[in-house]
Structure 1
């Protein structure tokens, strides 16, 4: 598999980084993962904006042309013969300068389900911090939580902070509907990552309220859906063994509006 490493197309096993670099010792770096659709990056501008801001927040200086990066992604997808898949670009600090890498791979799940089973994770969410809005390379906690959920045959998990608030998923943001049919999503102040698809849903539905539910409150939700740049929006049909409408009326409205605003070439899940 080829990658782009510091502007050059090379085989992935040719990329090298020293063991004493700050990136290895302290995880100093950040990344973004986005969807490759018909050979092109989807929502590239939004991802690049967040990535650039994240790099600046952790003190990394990037001197990169986003249009050149976009072109390299398209070329890399062609070289790796991937038209539908996942893109990851990342940067990490060296003692001198910053490395920048692009991967383009097949999707994580080739045939994902239309609706998801979700559990509440035993891994505690770290809560709000100066880095909670940064998609940084210290990602072990979220990866561990997600992998534990997948090993137990759940599709995703949701993490709870020290205040008992359900904040976000291992790889996703989430939205929930209460008994009064009001739609909510946790605010960034709770520690949630500002996901690109989360932001798109909020743009389409500005009346959505930002509130992080307590775990027991979420268990009473009438609808839940999760968002992620790879699968975009997935209704949740089960939370900790409790069945949910998937999609419910409000979730279907959100999905249909999203597909109308941001069409793609997949056979759409149009929910009635």
Structure 2
């Protein structure tokens, strides 16, 4: 697989980083993951804006610009013969300078289900912090929770904080329909990541309530759907054995339809 490492195209096994660099010792750095569709990254500008904001928050000075990154992505898709898949851009500081990498890969799941089955994870969400809005490389908690859920044959898991408030998925944001049939999603202030697709849904439906459900409240939800840049919007058909409406839910169906009309896959 070809990647871009510090501006150079090379095989992924050729890229090297120092074992005592801050990225290795402390997980310092940030990344973004973008859906590749028809050889082009979806919502590239929004991802790039968040990525550069995250770099500023971590005091990382990277000279890579958006036009060069976009050209690298398109060329990597061509070289790796991937038109549908995922893009990852990541960077981390060295003791002197900054490394950056760009990957383009096929989808992790070749045939994902139409609706996801969820579980509430035993891994605790850390709650709001100065890093909550940063997609940083110290990702072990969320990665471990997701791997545990997948090993148990769930598609994704949701994480609750110490007060049993459900904040976000391991790899996703979530929306839920409450007892009053109102569409809600946890606020960024609660510690949820400001996902790009989450933001697009909020733009389309400004009446969405930003509030964070208790575990018991979420279990009474009539509809849940997830947002993530790789699958964009995914209905939820089950949470810990409790069946949900999935794609047939009236509100979920409306959101998916409106999103597809606003952002068609050209």
TM-score (norm 2): 0.99
Aligned to 1:197: 197
- 1:106-185 aligned within 5 A: 106-185=106-185
* CA distance, structure 2, for counterparts of residue 200 and residue 179 of structure 1: 24
Aligned to 1:225: 225
Instruction: Say if 2:237 is the partner of 1:263.
Output: no
Instruction: Say if 2:28 is the partner of 1:28.
Output: yes
Q: Please give the per-residue CA displacement for 1:176-218, whole angstroms capped at 9, x wherever unaligned.
A: 0012110000001110000000000000000000001000000
Cα RMSD after superposing both structures? 0.6
Aligned to 2:241: 241
* CA distance, structure 2, for counterparts of residue 103 and residue 64 of structure 1: 15
* CA distance, structure 2, for counterparts of residue 65 and residue 193 of structure 1: 24
* CA distance, structure 2, for counterparts of residue 223 and residue 157 of structure 1: 16
Q: Please give the per-residue CA displacement for 1:209-233, whole angstroms capped at 9, x wherever unaligned.
A: 0001000000000100000000000
Contiguous gaps of at least 5 residues in structure 1 = 266-272
Aligned to 2:251: 250
Q: Please give the per-residue CA displacement for 1:102-137, whole angstroms capped at 9, x wherever unaligned.
A: 000010111111101000000000110000100000
Aligned to 2:93: 93
Give the drift of 1:163: 1.8
Give the drift of 1:164: 1.2
Give the drift of 1:161: 0.5
TM-score (norm 1): 0.97
Give the drift of 1:169: 0.3
* CA distance, structure 2, for counterparts of residue 184 and residue 217 of structure 1: 12
* CA distance, structure 2, for counterparts of residue 23 and residue 146 of structure 1: 22
* CA distance, structure 2, for counterparts of residue 243 and residue 28 of structure 1: 40
* CA distance, structure 2, for counterparts of residue 213 and residue 185 of structure 1: 8
Aligned to 1:270: none
Give the drift of 1:58: 0.8
Instruction: Say if 2:37 is the partner of 1:40.
Output: no
SS at match of 1:199: helix
Q: How many residues align?
A: 265
* CA distance, structure 2, for counterparts of residue 6 and residue 19 of structure 1: 17
* CA distance, structure 2, for counterparts of residue 170 and residue 179 of structure 1: 25
Aligned to 2:206: 206
SS at match of 1:68: helix
* CA distance, structure 1, for counterparts of residue 163 and residue 189 of structure 2: 12
Contiguous gaps of at least 5 residues in structure 2 = none
